[in-house]
Amino acid sequence: MRALVITALLCAGCGLFKKDDATGTGNTCVDDPTTGITVRPSDVKMRPGDRLTFDFEIRSKMGSATAEASISAGTLERAGSNAVALTAPPVPGTYQLVVSRIGCPMDTGSATITVEPILSLGKAPGVQPVPTGVAWSPDGSTVAASGRGGVWLFRADGSFLDSAKLPHQGRTSVTYSPDGAYLVVGGDLEERSWVLETNGLKPWTKLGVNRGSAGALFSKDGTELLLHEGDRLRGYSMATGAMRDIGPIGPGPQTMGRLKHGPLGSVLVTVPGELRELSTGRRLARWGSAIAISPDAKWVLTSSGLQLPFIEQGIAATGLAGGFSADLSRDGTLLATGGTGGVNVLRNEGATLVGVGGAVLNAPGPVLDVAWSPDGSKLAIAGSTRLQILTRQQLGL
């Protein structure tokens, strides 16, 4: 992996532009010899995705030395005139953060970073959690449900498959990578997002700074993981471990948010409701909250009802009740919404939504998340008291 280099200017005597002494040799390393390079901390242990700031100092006889920092993996960002922030690479191993003097590459100082693998999280108790997030695998063979203390895998018929413990204590979201190889559980406001290998639910890395990652979503090609971290939207490269800042989010309610794909290369942030262009981070539209948006951008579902996406104007819908969650079928024809004690299904007719089905659940609790299977034949429901999977027939379709 190509080394990433960040240059920081350190001027002890503000002599950056001094002329050489009359007796000087013209060789910077000889005329102004380095007296010391210090990197702090010098020896640390990190885990994949962790972020840590390193301070460095370079000293020379005349005080005119400048330095550059580099590492063979991970991501370096400037954190001040004499500091860099390192996001640890995803692959465990031992790495050297090297600070070298510009023009005198043999004059170096370094810090040793040991990236330790994330060990097994253990099995989560029980097989019927009270889930707050739900997602289908891309091939429709499994359903993932996340909730307080863990993530659970079920077969498409609802039978238990596997589970893993997680430290989350609040509401969570869960999503699969497009190839089905990874699961990401987005934590509450005090926890990080965990990336797990689907096979065995082994932890791959944990991500998130700035009060944790409330929502997480893979890009459509699977190369990037989008994270809603506090008041920022960020992108994490699955290949290099690099983190990019997409833009600020908010201000808005400090409650559980989710990320959903929007039309034409955008992403919908549900709390606060914003539509962001991923390539530039530009905000295309904003609402107090949003639950879903149509693939053709003809409507957006907010907590107050159905609206035109770029105009504060309500549009027609029948059979639509206030809800906590929503999901569009993959072909964009059916919208499922989850409310208190049940779900509604509406047919997307472009400028209107028409109620065509639904179900009342035995438990009266709120439906916090819903997800259509890839072929649209089943609806997975998170909330109430347990995970439920309903067929089209059970939904009255």
One domain, residues 92 and 234: no
Do 62 and 156 lie in a common domain? no
User: What is the domain count for the chain?
Assistant: 2
* Burial zone of 45 (CB within 10 Å; 0-12 exposed, 13-18 middle, 19+ buried): exposed
> For residue 387, what are its two tokens?
């995970």
Could you tell me the two tokens for 207? 């991500």
pLDDT at residue 111 tops 70:
yes
Round to whole Å and give the CA distance between 359 and 361.
Answer: 6
**Residue 26, CB half-sphere, CA atoms under 13 Å: how many?**
0
Adjacent-strand bridge partners of 324: none
Angstrom distances, CA of residue 211 to CA of 7, 53, 188, 189, 229: 29, 17, 9, 6, 7
Residue 247 lies in a domain: yes
Examine the domain organization and report whether 250 and 355 are in the same domain: yes
Domain boundary among 67, 90, 115: 115
Confidence category of residue 219, pLDDT binned at 50, 70, 90: very high
Q: Is 28 helix (H, G, I), strand (E, B) or coil?
A: helix
Q: To the nearest whole percent, how much of the chain has pLDDT over 70? A: 84
Buried residues in 136-157 as b, exposed as e (16+ CB within 10 A)? bbbebebbbbbbbbbbbbbebe
**CB-based contact 319:364 (threshold 8 Å):** no
304 shares its domain with 383 = yes
The CATH number of the domain holding residue 13 is 2.60.40.1080
Least confident of 89-103, 183-197, 220-234, 275-289: 183-197
- Using pLDDT thresholds of 50, 70 and 90, give the confidence band for residue 251: low
249 and 360 in a single domain? The answer is yes
Distance between CA 194 and CA 175 in Å, rounded?
Answer: 11
Q: Using CA atoms, how far apart are residues 80 and 77, in angstroms rounded to an integer?
A: 9
Asked whether residue 162 falls in the same domain as residue 284, the answer is: yes
Quick check: 287 and 272 in contact, CB under 8 A? yes
The per-residue pLDDT for 18 is 36
Q: Are residues 210 and 145 in the same domain?
A: yes
**109 belongs to a structural domain:** yes
pLDDT score of 4 more than 80:
no
What is the overall mean pLDDT for the chain?
A: 82
CB 268, CB 284: distance < 8 Å? no
Span 338-348, mean pLDDT?
Answer: 86
* Last residue of one domain, picked from the residues 115, 146, 163: 115
Q: Please report, rounded to a whole number, the percentage of residues in the chain having pLDDT higher than 90.
A: 34
pLDDT category at 211 given cuts 50, 70, 90 is low
125 lies in some domain = no
Rounded-to-integer distance, Cα 263 and Cα 276, Å: 10
pLDDT of residue 184: 93
* The pLDDT value given to residue 128: 66
Question: 198 lies in a domain?
Answer: yes
Whether the predicted pLDDT of 370 surpasses 90: yes
For the CA atoms of the chain, what is the radius of gyration? 25
Strand partners, 38: 57
Of 203-212, 249-258, 367-376, the range with the lowest mean pLDDT is 249-258
In a domain, 396, yes or no: no
Task: Quote the pLDDT of residue 142.
Answer: 97
Burial class (CB in 10 A: 0-12, 13-18, 19+), 301: buried
Q: What is the pLDDT of residue 214?
A: 66
144 and 183 share one domain: yes
Residues 137, 110 share a domain: no
* Residue where one domain finishes, among candidates 54, 80, 115: 115
Shared domain for 219 and 348, answered yes or no, is yes
CB 160 within 8 A of CB 152: yes
Identify the CATH number of the domain in which residue 201 sits: 2.130.10.10
Q: Domain for residue 121, yes or no?
A: no
Residues 328 and 201 reside in one and the same domain = yes
Domain shared by 306 and 172, yes or no? yes
pLDDT in tens, 112-167: 999 988 877 889 887 666 888 999 999 999 999 998 888 999 999 999 999 999 88
Q: For residue 300, what are the contacts with CB-CB under 8 A and spacing of at least 6?
A: 273, 275, 285, 287, 290, 292, 293, 294, 306, 307, 308, 309
Q: Domain limits at 70?
A: 4-115
Query: Does a structural domain hold residue 126?
Result: no
Helix (H, G, I), strand (E, B) or coil at 16: coil
**179 occurs within a structural domain:** yes
Q: pLDDT confidence of 12, banded at 50, 70, 90?
A: very low
Q: Within a 10 A sphere around the Cβ of 16, how many other Cβ atoms?
A: 12
DSSP code of residue 199: T
**251-266 mean pLDDT:** 76
Q: Between vectors from CA 337 to CA 218 and to CA 363, what angle results, nearest 5°?
A: 110
